[in-house]
A and B are shown apart, each in its own frame.
Chain A
């Protein structure tokens, strides 16, 4: 938002026109502090949840995964200054492509190997399954 207003509402910054992309890519002091404060909160809560164990393991796992995802987005916005317009949108395209590949490889590896382990159990466990088939 601030980048847009900077681009269109502040002609007095015209002297730095050639560095316009620079400024967009560097964010502001306030932006860095917001990102930092959010990151501290999003880091402290998962550590506290795991160390103090106020919830069940499963609930804790889900919450810390959600917090990690949230913090990655916070870093992307406030530190890496990602937006849809950076580099004419190509940065975002590369990012989305990478997220898709990362998702497929992570989920695919875990899914395939989980089933591989389940289907290659030692013989004594296989007898139970043999009864079913």
Chain B
């Protein structure tokens, strides 16, 4: 009696001739496509900065405003957070919940340090009178760098949320999938930052 029922169940839910698709098996591709759309947003902001970045309207230019040592420090924070997230993922693969949480925490601290330095830079600029309405250059600068900063902010919120999830539920399949999505997001932000420090800060100092 029980055997036919089991067969019936299998036929209904998992036909043998079809490959078994794990729950959320297409999530990573979907998330990747989301990231590519995010990439297009940044491309538009980079293009806007490229077009407007030399329109100072009599206001200060990059050479008077940017401090490269600060940008270098900022860049190293983000780069360090990328490799610490990598270590969190390796710990996750090895099934080490504690290690994963510790490395996620360190990643979050580096991310927060990056954000703190960026906010310090923004406040310094605004105190110097270099506000977004001053010139098209500053409008596009604050929009581009600010959008990246917002992404990092949401990344940190997401990271803290996942730390709570992992602490409460452990490294279950759903949490692993979420951590992999955030991994893509976090490394992607580092990729965008390469464009920002090269195109905005370094090229700005060369003008």
Contact = CB atoms under 8 A, between A and B. Distances in A.
Contact of A94 (B32, B87, B191, B198): B32
A22 B12 CA distance: 28
B184 interface: yes
B132 to A, nearest CB: 20
A18 interface: yes
B32 A76 contact: no
Contacts of B197: 43
Interface residues of B, number: 45
Interface string B86-123: 11011011000000000000000000000000000000
20 contacts: A22-B93, A25-B180, A29-B87, A36-B82, A43-B197, A47-B71, A64-B198, A68-B194, A71-B194, A72-B194, A80-B184, A91-B29, A95-B32, A98-B36, A102-B43, A105-B40, A105-B47, A106-B47, A109-B47, A110-B51
Nearest to A56: B206
Q: Report, as a range, how many residues of chain A touch the other chain.
A: 35 or more
A12 to B, nearest CB: 16
Interface string B17-59: 0000010000011001100100110011011101100000000
A67 B48 CA distance: 22
B72 interface: yes
B188 interface: yes
Interface string A50-83: 1100000100110011011001100110011000
Interface string B172-191: 00001000100010011011
A50 B68 contact: yes
A65 B75 CA distance: 16
B79 A39 contact: yes
B68 A51 contact: yes
B187 A47 contact: no
A83 to B, nearest CB: 13
Contact of A91 (B32, B47, B76, B191): B32
Interface string B151-195: 000000000000000000000000010001000100110110011
Contact of B43 (A43, A65, A101, A113): A101
A104 to B, nearest CB: 9
Contacts of B22: 18
Contacts of B184: 80
B87 to A, nearest CB: 7
